[in-house]
Amino acid sequence: MKVKKQTSFDLIFGLFLILYLWFILDTGYWSDDRKYEFINGILASNQWSIIQFIWERISVHVEMHGRFFPFTSVFAEGIPFLFGLKLYKIYLMSVTIGCTYLFKAFIRLLTQSVILADLAAILAVVLFSVQNATISLMLVLASLNFCVLSIRKKILWEGIAEVLSVIFYFLAMITYEATYPFILLIILLVFYEESSRERKLRKVSPYL
């Protein structure tokens, strides 16, 4: 009965998220994304391929701003060019919804409470800042993946979970530098879950 109620809640909540975010599909490019309106002209005037354009953006961020987040450039520059405005907005909606459910799963694993997990998901929606958020959404998606996978709750075989956790953390780091402090969360999670000093050090060391 509890499983049925939870499934019903997840479906209703998912439908609510879709309706809540539907207006995004009727918007154009925002903020930094405005350049994508002219991407074909940029490529033509410079005689670039989309790969060369992505490489140019990565180089500019590194050389002029000292920032390295190539994963963001691949998605932020590549998706609007390959799929156009409408599918780009669907992608943003999908990532937002995925982040919300991953956050819900993270709270459920951390607290072992379905009620707290559902409440956290609802509060996350209430506190949404709806804006141009490709970078931050990808950050949250990758970060919550490694957070969930770092908590050993028999979702996956432990060795696989650890490997995937490190991979997602690496992807998060090359998505946005704001991910770097999340190593503190990883350390706290590992120290909370593990009682042995040796296991704590072994599980934390790959992230360092």
- 33 or 89: which carries more pLDDT confidence? 89
What are the phi and psi torsion angles at 48 (to 5°)?
Answer: -105, 155
* DSSP designation for 179: G
Q: pLDDT digits over 3-12, tens only? A: 777 788 888 8
- What is the pTM assigned to this prediction? 0.77
| Own/partner pairs, 26-29, CB within 8 angstroms, 24+ separation | 27/89, 28/85, 29/80, 29/85, 29/132
Instruction: Give pLDDT, residue 133.
Output: 45
Does 184 have pLDDT greater than 60? yes
Q: pLDDT digits over 44-78, tens only? A: 888 888 888 888 888 888 888 888 888 877 777 77
Q: Note whether 134 and 76 are within 8 A (CB).
A: yes
Structure tokens at 186: 């990883």
Closest CA to 98 of 18, 192, 184, 3: 18
